[in-house]
Structure 1
Amino acid sequence: MHHEHYIPKTAQQPLKLTLKEKLGLPEDYPAMGDAIVQGFTFEVVASLAHETELSETEILNALNLPDRKKVQRRKHRRFTRLESNRIYALIEAIEASEALFQGDPCKAINWLKKPCHGLGRRAPIENLNSFFEFQQVVSLIHRLERGVFN
């Protein structure tokens, strides 16, 4: 008589939340577009700092954003649409760089903070103030993923 041994299945890995989920932001369109138009609250920057190795000051300075006190003095206490777009670009750049470094957030953030030859010796985090700059960062990440270093 043949006896089969029970071999338990390996435990499934818990689902990893995306950065947007950790920040309480929608993942889908048009909800994200609506959130950007409405303007992100300062809590998004505070949460982003908490979830990454970036400080609030690094985020605000790199993206040319006003500090908490200036945002709190505004009528709606939110970032503007343009400022929210820059924050969104940073979130996308972080997610793309994490993919480049096989999900290692520390390596991804360190890379974002270091000057890159492919960006005119500017750090990727400093190249997120316009759509054009954001495209250059994402393009560089895609080239690096494919092993193209120039």
Structure 2
Amino acid sequence: MASAVIKRFTPSRRTDDSLWDEIGLPSRGEALYRVVRDGLRYSTFCQIAELAGTDSKLLAEILDISPTTAHRRAKAGRFSPHESDRIIRFAQALAAAVKLFEGDRVQARSWMQAPVKGLGNKPPVDMLATSVEAEAVLDLIGRLEHGIVA
């Protein structure tokens, strides 16, 4: 599926909060809720794709956003709240993976693309279109951070 779509990462030793700073969004709280409710800007979506080392077309595919819908959102300049929620879940998983690998985006990308036993041998990137699967990815990252075997 989408596991081979994230192509390149710029190596960086940054924390997960700096990833949020780079895209100009709060990582949590009421301000983030408002962004999702109001609809994420298309330009922010493109920034997230760039930070993930992919392009907007491939990120839309990962998030199960049809090419037609993505094109309409590009013209309108914003995503719907539902689509924004999926995009933010992706950003949360990316930030958590970067934090897990102590800021190393190359290792984070590799991990997100590789089948993971703790996720039923699915790559994390293939599990970010639904809230249930994204929660499983974030839960696994949390367990790994605390040394709990998956």
- Asked whether the two chains share a fold, i.e. TM above 0.5, the reply is yes
- Using structure 1 for the length normalisation, give the TM-score: 0.78
**Equivalent-residue separation in structure 2 for 1:98 and 1:120 (angstroms):** 21
Higher relative contact order (CA 8 A, sep 6+): 2
Alignment root-mean-square deviation, CA: 2.1
- Name 1:106's counterpart in structure 2: 106
Quick check: 1:138 aligned with 2:143?
A: no
CA contact (8 A) 1:53 1:106 kept: no
Report how far residue 82 of structure 1 moved: 1.1
| Structure 2 unmatched runs, 5+ | 1-13
- Name 2:74's counterpart in structure 1: 72
Report how far residue 66 of structure 1 moved: 3.5
Paired residues for 1:28-47 under 5 Å: 28-47=28-47
CA contact (8 A) 2:119 2:136 kept: yes
- Using structure 2 for the length normalisation, give the TM-score: 0.78
CA contact (8 A) 2:93 2:138 kept: yes
- Name 2:122's counterpart in structure 1: 122
**Equivalent-residue separation in structure 1 for 2:115 and 2:28 (angstroms):** 32
Report how far residue 103 of structure 1 moved: 1.0
**Equivalent-residue separation in structure 2 for 1:55 and 1:72 (angstroms):** 13
Cα 1:72–1:99 change in 2 (3 A) is: closer
CA contact (8 A) 2:43 2:77 kept: no
Report how far residue 28 of structure 1 moved: 4.8
State how many pairs are aligned.
Answer: 134
| Structure 1 unmatched runs, 5+ | 1-14
Cα 1:95–1:80 change in 2 (3 A) is: same
**CA deviation vs aligned residue, 1:25-53 (integer Å, no higher than 9, x gap):** 23452111011001112211211122232
